[in-house]
Each structure stands twice: as structure tokens, then as C-alpha cells.
């Protein structure tokens, strides 16, 4: 991946993270935040294995998935 595309991926990740703070529905917040975290992991990998970006965002992604799956199993 070219450095320019990696940068766009980082910018897109930032947009998704900020967007997740604007939303009110918790499921949408988690889903949008998860997309941002995935994009940050991709950005970290293709920008030279930036572990301080990869590790926390990968952990947050798993947390978001856990809560999304858990909430789907429990009735509203």
C-alpha cells in the first residue's frame, strides 16, 4: 500500500472515530467506532508497524465486537 493511501486510511479512521461521538444510538456508536479502529489498525500496519496505534485500536475493536454480539444475544 502506498504511503498516500495509508494516510487517507488514517484520515478516514479519524473521521469515523469523531463521527462515533456525534451519534446517539449505542449500537451505531459501537459499529462506527469499530470501523474507525479497524482503519487505524490498517493505517498502523501500512505506516511501518506503528505498535502504539495498532495495539490499543485492535483491543478496542475486539471490545466493540464483544458488546455488539452480547447485545444481540440479549433481548431488548
Q: How many domains does the chain have?
A: 1
| Angle, helices 3-22/26-46, rounded to nearest 10 degrees | 160
Whole-angstrom distance, CA of residue 16 vs CA of residue 11: 9
Whole-angstrom distance, CA of residue 62 vs CA of residue 46: 20
Work out the average pLDDT over 29-54: 96
pLDDT, mean over the chain: 94
Residue 66, pLDDT score: 96
Residue 20, pLDDT score: 95
0.85 surpassed by pTM: yes
CB neighbour class for 40 (10 Å; exposed up to 12, middle 13-18, buried from 19): buried
Residue 75 has pLDDT above 70, yes or no: no
| Range(s) of the domain holding residue 51 | 3-73
Residue 76 has pLDDT above 70, yes or no: no
Amino acid at each position: 500500500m502506498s504511503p498516500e493511501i495509508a494516510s487517507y486510511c488514517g484520515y478516514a479512521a479519524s473521521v469515523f472515530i469523531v463521527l462515533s461521538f456525534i451519534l446517539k444510538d449505542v449500537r451505531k456508536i459501537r459499529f462506527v467506532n469499530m470501523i474507525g479502529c479497524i482503519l487505524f489498525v490498517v493505517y498502523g500496519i501500512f505506516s511501518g508497524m506503528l505498535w502504539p496505534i495498532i495495539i490499543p485500536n485492535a483491543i478496542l475493536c475486539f471490545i466493540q465486537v464483544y458488546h455488539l454480539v452480547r447485545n444481540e444475544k440479549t433481548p431488548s
